[in-house]
Structure 1
Amino acid sequence: MANHDIDFLPDPDPESISSDVAGFGGLLVSTQIPTRADGSLELGDIVEQSECTLQALKTALEKAGSGMDRVLHLTIYLTDMADRAAFNEVYQRFFSKPWPVRAAVGVAALAVPGMRVEVTAMAARV
C-alpha cells in the first residue's frame, strides 16, 4: 500500500536500503552515518567521524528543504560513551542555541566495524 502523504528522498548510495530523508507534513526524519562527500565511509577517530556524520546530516536536510537550524531532536548513537565529549565539541560547530532536544545512547556496535557514531534527527521543513 502506497503512502501518498509521506515523502521519501532516496539515499545517494544506490545500494542503500534506507531513504536519506523521510517527510510527513512539516516533519523530516533522517539518519546519517560518517559518510564523506564522495560516499565513502570515514572510519578514523571520533572527531573525524562526527564531522562527517553531521556534515552528511546537514547536506541531507538542505537537499530536503530544511537545515540544521530546523532540527528539533537528535539521537546520537556512540559505541563508546567516552567519545561523548569529543562529539559534543563537533556538535557545537554545527548547532547553536536554542539547542535541539537530544539524547546520547551507548551501543555495543553499529552496522560497520569501526563506525563509532550514527545520528537520527527530526527536523521541521522550512
Structure 2
Amino acid sequence: MFKLSTCLSTLALAAMCSLGFVHSANANTTTAVSIAKSSPTFLGDGGTYPFSEAVRVGNTLYMSGQIGFKDGKLVKGGIKAETKQVLDNIHSTLLKYGYRKSDIVKCMVMLTDMDDFDDFNKVYKAEMIKPYPVRSAFGVSELAAGASVEIECMAAK
C-alpha cells in the first residue's frame, strides 16, 4: 500500500516532467509576449449628467450611448430622423477623439419599438461603412428624453 505522501510526490514529479516536455517541445517556436497595460483616459463629460462622453483604453474608444439630440433637443421626424442624428453624433464624437466610422467594431442599439427595426436598418446601412461592425439590438420600454433609439459604440485602431 502506498503512503499518501509517496503518491503525491509521484504525481508532482510527473506533472513537472510533463511541463518540462511541453516547454522543450515548444522552445524553438515560443516568442516573448509583451503586454502593455494602459490606464483608461476619460474624455468629455455628460454636462449635467454623471457620465463621460467616451473612455479610451489603449487604442479602443468606448463611447456613451447617443440619442438624436441636436442643439439640446431631440430631433423631430421619427425613427429615421433620430437614427440619422444619432449616427451624426457618433461620427462627431469619433472625429473629436481621432477615430473614423471605419474604426467602429461594435454597436449596441436600443429601440423603444421593434416595429421600427426595418426603418432603423435602412438609415444605419446608408450611414455606416462596410464591413459593418458587430451589433446587438434590444427592444426597451423607454429611453432618455423620450428618444426612440439609442446607440452605443466601441471603436478600435
Shorter-normalised TM range: 0.7 to 0.9
- Structure ranking higher in strand proportion: 1
Gap regions ≥5 residues in structure 2? 1-37
Quick one: which of 110, 115, 133 aligns to 1:82?
115
How many residues are paired up? Answer: 119
1:19, distance to aligned residue in structure 2 (A) = 1.2
Task: Please state if 1:58 is matched with 2:91.
Answer: yes
Would you say the 8 A contact 2:80–2:123 is kept in 1?
A: yes
Which residue of 94, 99, 122 corresponds with 2:127? 94
Aligned to 1:17, the other structure's residue is in SS state coil
Identity of counterpart residues, as a percentage? 34
Measured after TM superposition, the shift of residue 120 of structure 1 is 0.7
Unaligned runs of 5+ in 1: none
Does structure 1 conserve the Cα–Cα contact (< 8 Å) formed by 2:75 and 2:81? yes
2:148 maps to what in 1?
Answer: 116
Looking at structure 1, the residues matched to 143 and 112 of structure 2 have their Cα atoms a distance apart, in angstroms, of: 7
Contact kept in structure 1, 2:109 and 2:150, CA below 8 Å: yes
Deviation at 1:43, TM superposition (A): 4.5
Q: Report the secondary structure of 2:142's partner residue.
A: coil
Deviation string, structure 1 residues 88-113 (Cα, Å, up to 9, x no partner): 11111221221100011100111222
Q: Give the whole-Å Cα distance in 2 for the aligned partners of 1:49 and 1:17.
A: 23
Q: Given the two structures, how large is their TM-score scaled by the length of structure 1?
A: 0.86
Would the aligned equivalents of 1:70 and 1:123 in 2 still touch at CA under 8 Å?
yes
- Counterpart-to-counterpart distance in 2, 1:14 and 1:117: 21
Q: Which residue of 2 aligns with 1:24?
A: 57
State TM-score, norm by structure 2. Answer: 0.70
Kindly indicate which of the two structures has a greater share of residues assigned to helix: 2
Task: Write out the 4+ residue segments of structure 1 that deviate beyond 4 Å after TM superposition.
Answer: none
Contact map agreement 1:21 1:61 (CA 8 A) in 2: no
Q: CA offset at residue 40 of structure 1?
A: 2.4
